[in-house]
Amino acid sequence: MIEGIQERVFPGGVVLAAKDGTARFFKSYGYANLYTKQAVTADTFFDLASLTKPLATTLAVMKLIQQSKLELHQKIETILHPFANTKKGSITIEHLLAHTAGLSDYRPYYQLLERVPTEQRRSALRDLLVVEPLEYPVGERTVYSDIGFMILSWVIETVSERRLDRFVFEDIYTPLELDDLFFVDLQKPDRTKSFAATEQCPWRKQMIQGVVHDENAYAAGGIEGQAGLFGTASDVYRLLSVLLEIYHNRSKTPIFDQDLLRLFLTKQQGFERAFGFDTPSDANSSCGNHFSGNTVGHLGFTGTSFWMDMERSIIVILLTNRIHPTRTNEKIRAFRPRLHDAVMLSIGKQI
């Protein structure tokens, strides 16, 4: 981590590595803000970016399935009626979670939404999702897609009759006493917490700190299915620990059904990913060379990641602000596997 700062991979970050329910390493490094010299601490809140997908949106889908309000094989046209009689109507929840829905990876919707009055932007975004063209036939190939998780957010809100952040907070985070995982509503930003800065944004013409970096989530008010979650390393770890306990049937009061959780955390036949979670790639994986095949994780654009080895009960969380002050810094691609290899070799020596 010290080398990472010296090599300008990121201004600052936190590493938490745990095995068998015990944190073996938990340290903070560097700056949360290069200009104010605000230091990163164990309590710094990071923009988790796409970690929103597994740690909020996917868990919300899982909870709704457990509540018998949603099914994996359910077509979105049965929930979101604007998709009826469109080519996207046959997309299922399973397709969206596995990134096989036939959708593009990304669209800069914010460029259109900035012309729309603030209170109308979420509705306008959903109009754009309805007319979004398919890039290839549904189920034909895997293309990691932000757009699919925006649609999942819409599904969750329609079925639960609550905004995504409220449903996740009330039905998942609050029962687990996770106060340090939350979305930042742009109508009511929190100025009291210590946030890591992200980009000097050319679109917003300001340094982003304490509000979501992702432009599409920002344009939609800060709360979306692909991005918008903030948190500390401690609460990311606590949430993942709960999942691991349920996975191994060690939880006395499981918030998720074990069989359902195991289904989501296992790469199914015919899919390249687990539902809502990433898995190690066959070559040059960001998790390095020492995680088992029974591993899930995810990366975030802002410089965040987690990997959880279910076979060996190992969790490694890396939260950084690598896009501070600019997203053009991509040194973290080579850094991530270096760090994970070092962590795994160190944990191996401790066993």
| CATH code (residue 47) | 3.40.710.10
pLDDT at 194: 97
pLDDT band at 271 (very low <50, low <70, confident <90, very high): confident
Model confidence at 351: pLDDT above 80: no
pLDDT at 350: 65
Q: Are the beta carbons of 97 and 61 closer than 8 angstroms?
A: yes
What is the per-residue pLDDT across 196-254, written as a single tens digit (0 to 9) for each? 999 999 999 999 999 999 999 999 999 999 999 999 999 999 999 999 999 999 998 89
pLDDT at 191: 85
pLDDT at 283: 87
pLDDT at 185: 96
What is the per-residue pLDDT across 166-184, written as a single tens digit (0 to 9) for each? 999 999 999 999 999 999 9
The number of distinct structural domains making up the chain is 1
Closest CA to 287 of 345, 340, 227: 340
What is the per-residue pLDDT across 118-140, written as a single tens digit (0 to 9) for each? 999 999 999 999 999 999 999 99
The predicted model scores a pTM of 0.98
**Mean local confidence (pLDDT), 86-101:** 97
When the pLDDT of each residue in the chain is averaged and rounded to a whole number, the result is 96
Query: What percent of the chain stands above pLDDT 70?
Result: 99
Model confidence at 268: pLDDT above 90: no
Listed in sequence order, the DSSP H helices in 134-283 are 146-160, 164-168, 215-219, 233-247, 258-264
Higher local confidence (pLDDT), 97 or 281: 97
Query: What percent of the chain stands above pLDDT 90?
Result: 94
Q: What share of the chain is helix, strand, coil (3-state, %, to 5)?
A: 35, 20, 45
Kindly state the tokens that stand for 69: 């309000």
Query: What is the domain extent for residue 79?
Result: 2-350
